[in-house]
Amino acid sequence: MSPEDRYDDFDELLRSALRDEADTITPAGDGLSRIQQRVQQRGFRQRWMRPALALGSVAALAVIGIGAAVFVSNSGDDKVTVGNSPSPQPSDTAPTVPAAAPDFPNLAIFPFTTAVAEQGWEQDYANGGTQWEADPAQVATHWVQDYLNQPSVNRVVDTTDDGNDKLVTLGRVLDAESHQLFKVTTVRLTPYVNSWIVVGASDPNDFLSISSPDPGGTAITPVTVSGPAFGVEEAVKFDVRDATSTTSYGSNTVTFGNGHPPWHVSVNFNRPSSPIGVLVGVDTSPADGGPSRIVAQQIRFSPAEAHQPPPYFYAIKNDRITQFASRTGDSIKYLTSQQPGGGLEDPQVYGSDVYYLQGAGTCANALMKVSTSADGSDNGDIVASPDTGYAILQYAIGNLATVVFEQACDPARTPEAKLVTIPSLPGANRNVIDFPSLPPTLETDPSFDGAESTQLMTAILRTGTESSLTRYDVYGDDSPTPGRNACSGLGPEDGQPKALESDSGGTLWIALQTGSSMDVVRCGANGKPKLAFTVQGQDVPVDIDVTGDGSAVLLTDDHGKVWRWDGSGNPDELSNNIPLTHVSW
Amino acid sequence: MDTLGQVDTRRDADEALVALYTAHYRSLVRLAALLLHDTAAAEDVVQDAFVAMHDSWRRLRDTDKALAYLRQAVVNRSRSRLRHLKVVERKTPPATPESAQIHGGHVPSAESGALHALERQHVMAALRGLPHRQREVLVLRYYADMSEAQIAEAMGISPGAVKSHASRGIAALRQTMELSS
C-alpha cells in the first residue's frame, strides 16, 4: 500500500483522532461554581470602581498626557509606555478640568483608523477583551499575518524605539535548503491611549521604497506608484486595499532591476467603500516564492472618487464570471475558468468577492464565490449547497448570514420550497421557513435591509398573479407570508415589482414593470416611494444593482439590455455586445 | 446604586452564563485541551472566557453572539497561554524524547497493537508539532466542525489565511505521517 493510498482518508483519520482525544477529557465538576465565584468577586470590584471611573477617566487622560512627556524624555527605555499607564484609582484630588485627548495618528492603518474605533476597543479591553492591541510586537504580527495574509512572516527579529514610536522588524525562515532567517519588513507603530497603531512599514534593508504617492496622500484610480530601482529581476506586487477590512480594491505587479531606471506602475482599483486605504508592496523571493520585502503606507481616497460610479461590473459571459467596464459595457477579463457542467448565473458582488450560482437548472447546483482579483483560472469556492432533493433558486448575502431560497426538484416533495438562513457566526442555528406548496414563492433575489442588517430582509413575494414587497425576519419567522409590507406607499397601480436591492443605508430600490415603461423607485424607512428614473418601453426588468451609497444603479431587462444611472438625469444604455440579464457592481 | 436596567442586564448575564455553561462548557474545555494539551490549563482558559463573556454581556445580549465570543476568547486565550509556556520552556532544559512521550501519555500499551490506534496517536503527536495557528485551524475545522468563515471569525483572521493555514497544516501532517510510516 502506498502512502498516498494509506492516507486517502486522512481527513477522517484526523477527525477521529481529535474526537478520540477529546473524549478522554472530562472537566472537573466545579466549573460553574468557580466561574460564578469569580464573577461575583469582579462584580464587587467593578461596582466599587464605577463611581470613580468618571473622575478616573479624566485622571487617566491626564496620566496619558504626562506619560507622553515621560516617554519623550525616556526614549531609550522600553518599559516606559503609554500602554502601561496605571489603572484609574479613586482619588479625592482628581482634576476638574478635562485634559485634551491625544491626537489620533493621522497615518493609522491598523488595527484602528479612527479614534472612535479605538475607543470601542478600549471599552472591551477594560472588560477583559482582546489584549494584543496593547502590545506593539503582537500588533505588528497580527497586521502582517492576518491583514496582509503573510503567515510565513512569523518571527519578531528586532524591536527598537524611535521617539514615541516603536519599530518592530519581522522576518521569516527561507523555505529553501539554507533555511536562513531574514528580515522582511519593519513595522512602525505609534502609541494611542492603551493601543499601538500601525502607521506604515518599510524594507529593513532600505531597497524597496515608495517615492510616490506620499504617505496619507490622496489616490484616484488609476494611481501611479513609483520608486527607486534596485536589484536584479525584482517583481513587486502593489495592492490598493481597504484599511478596515481585508478587501483588495485592485493590484498590479511591476518588474524591474538590472540597472533599469526608477520603476513605476499604474494600479486600477474599484470604488472604495471607506475613505482610508492602504498601499501595500510585496517583493517576492525567487528562492522560494515567499515575500522578501514588504512596504506599506496609508492612502486616502478622493471624495470625488466616492461620487463616481464603480469602474467595473460583473456578469456572465461564455459561462464564466466576467468583469466589464461600467462606462461602456465592454468585457475586460474572466474571473472563473470554464467549468465542467457550467450553468453559471446570478452574480452578486459582496465585499471583494463575486457570488454566483453554479449548475443552474440541475439539482446539484451550489452557491459559489470567486475573488474579484481572480485571473480567469479560478474554479470558485462553495459557499452553500442545497438540501438533498432541492436546488437553490435565489439568494442574499448579508453581514452575518447567507439566505438561500431552495425549491424541490420533485414538485411532489413537501415542502415544495424553503427559505434557509445560514448564519456565519459559529454555533448559531440556521432557520428554515417552509413553503409547503407554490405559490406563494419568491420572485427574484431578496436583499438584506442595509449593510448593518443581520435579521431583516426584503423579498418580492408572488401569490398567484399578485406580487408584493415582503419583509422577513430571517431568524424569527416561520411563515412564508409574514405580512410585513416593506414599502407601504407602493400600490398595484404603480406597477409590478420585478427586482429589488437595498443600499447600505437600508433604502430599498425597486424595479417596476408598468406596461409602458420600467420605473425604478426608492423607498426609505417612511414607506413612501420616490421615482429615481424611468426607461420607456414594454421591456420587463430582470435585475437591479445599486451601489452602497445609492448614487448609481444598474438595471437589466428581459432582452439583456443594461442601463447605468449615475444619480441624476436619464440612464445611459450600455453598448454591451452580448445580452446580460444579471449584473452586479 | 445600580439602575433597573443594569440589574436586568446582570440578571440576563447570569442566566445566559448558566445556559451556556450547561450546553457548551464541556466541549469548550475539550477544544481548549486540544489546543493546549493540558486539561487543567484548558479549564482555566474556559473559565476566564466565561467570566469575560459575563462582563461583556451588555454588548452581546444574545446567546449565539455569546457562544461566538466564547469560542474566540478560548482560542485567543489558549494562544496566549501557549506563548507564555514557550517563554517558560526556553528557561528550562529540554525534555528527552522518552520523557516527553511519557509526559504526553502517548506510548502505546502492550495490548494496544491496532494500527488505527497507532495512527491516531501519530496524528496527534504530529498535530502538536505544528505551528500554533495551523494547529488551531485544524482543531477548529476537524474537531469543532467549523466552516472557514466561522474559523476566520473565531481566530480574527481572514478566510484566505484560514485556507492557507489549513493547507499548510495538512501538508505538514501528511509529510510527518509519511515519514513515520
**B33–A22: do the CB atoms touch at under 8 Å?**
yes
Measured between beta carbons, the chain B residues lying within 8 angstroms of A151 are 133, 161, 164-165, 168
CA distance A262 to A257: 9
**Which one of B29, B121, B178 has the shortest CB-CB distance to A3?**
B178
**Nearest in space to A401 (alpha carbons), one of A470, A349, A452:** A452
Whole-number average pLDDT of chain B: 74
What is the pLDDT at residue A54? Answer: 33
User: Is residue A48's pLDDT more than 50?
Assistant: no
Hey, which of A52-56, A125-129, A290-294 has the most confident mean pLDDT? Answer: A290-294
Span A71-99, average pLDDT? 31
What single-letter DSSP state applies at residue A4? H
Give residue B9's pLDDT. 66
A vs B, Cβ pairs < 8 A, gives 154
Question: Would you give the distance in Å from CA A174 to the centre of its chain?
Answer: 31
Residues of B in contact with A39 (CB under 8 A): 14, 17, 51, 54
**Residue A26: exposed, middle, or buried by beta-carbon count in 10 A (0-12, 13-18, 19+)?**
exposed
C-alpha cell at A562: 443594461
pLDDT mean over A69-86: 28
Asked if A316 contacts A380 with a C-beta cutoff of 8 angstroms, the reply is: no
Residue numbers in B near A21 (CB within 8 A): 34, 120, 124
Instruction: Name residue, grid cell 466542525.
Output: B145
Question: Which residues does chain B have within 8 Å of residue A291's beta carbon, measured at their own beta carbons?
Answer: none
CA distance A246 to chain B (A): 7
| Chain A residues whose beta carbon lies within 8 Å of the beta carbon of residue B7 | none
pLDDT computed for residue B138 by the predictor: 92
All residues of chain B having their beta carbon less than 8 Å from the beta carbon of residue A47 are 2
Q: How far apart are CA A198 and CA A165, in angstroms?
A: 10
- From the list A583, A499, A493, A515, the residue with the least C-alpha distance to A547 is A583
Which chain A residues are within 8 Å of B129, Cβ to Cβ? Answer: none
Q: State the nearest Cα–Cα gap between B95 and chain A, in angstroms.
A: 23
Rg (CA), chain B: 19
The answer on pLDDT for A242 being more than 50 is yes
From the list B29, B71, B158, which residue is nearest A426 (CB)?
Answer: B71
Q: What is the 3-state secondary structure (H, E, C) of A312-372?
A: EEEEEECCEEEEEECCCCCEEEECECCCCCCCCEEEEEECCEEEEEECCCCCCCEEEEEEC
State chain A's mean pLDDT as an integer.
82
What the block records as the C-alpha cell of B167 is 493547507
Tell me the average pLDDT across A143-165: 92
pLDDT of residue A494: 93
First to last CA, chain A: 51
- A22: closest chain B residue by CA: B30
Query: Given this model, what pLDDT does residue B175 score?
Result: 82
Report the gap between the CA of B92 and the closest CA in chain A (Å): 21
pLDDT at site A136: 95
B93 CA: distance to closest CA in chain A (Å): 22
Q: Is the CB of B106 inside 8 Å of chain A's CB atoms?
A: no
Grid cell locating A57: 477617566
Question: Cβ of A35 and B119 within 8 Å?
Answer: no
From A247's Cα to the closest Cα of chain B, the distance in A is 10
- What are the chain B neighbours of A19 within 8 Å (beta carbons)? 143
User: What is the pLDDT, as a whole number, of residue A117?
Assistant: 81
Choose from A162-171, A392-401, B93-102 the range with maximum mean pLDDT.
A162-171
pLDDT, one tens digit per residue, over A409-443 is 998 999 999 999 998 766 678 899 999 999 999 99
For the segment B7-36, the average pLDDT, to the nearest whole number, is: 83
In three-state form (DSSP H/G/I as H, E/B as E, the rest C), the secondary structure along B8-62 is: HHHHHHHHHHHHHHHHHHHHHHHHHHHHHCCHHHHHHHHHHHHHHHHHCHHHHCC
Residue A522: per-residue pLDDT: 94
Q: Distance (Å) from the C-alpha of residue A40 to the closest C-alpha of chain B?
A: 10
**pLDDT 10s digits, B134-154:** 888 999 988 888 888 888 877
* pLDDT given for residue B116 in this prediction: 61
Looking at the predicted structure, is the pLDDT value of residue B5 above 60?
A: no
pTM: 0.45
| Sheet strand arrangement including A331-334 | A312-317, A320-325, A331-334
Min distance A329 CA to chain B CA atoms (Å) = 31
B55 and A21 within 8 Å at the Cβ level: the answer is: no
Q: Does B60 touch chain A (CB under 8 A)?
A: no
Which of A37, A39, A132, A148 to mutate to probe the B interface, most B CBs <10 Å? Answer: A39
Q: Do B51 and A129 touch (CB under 8 A)?
A: no
Asked if A425 and A418 count as a contact pair (C-beta separation under 8 A), the reply is no
Q: What pairing do the DSSP bridges indicate for beta strands A218-219 and A291-301? A: parallel
Instruction: Using alpha carbons, list the distances in angstroms from residue A416 to A168, A403, A444, B164.
Output: 59, 17, 17, 39
At B88-121, the pLDDT tens digits run 444 444 333 333 333 333 333 333 335 566 777 7
Residues of A in contact with B139 (CB under 8 A): 18
Burial bucket for residue A480 (CB in 10 Å: 0-12, 13-18, 19+)? buried
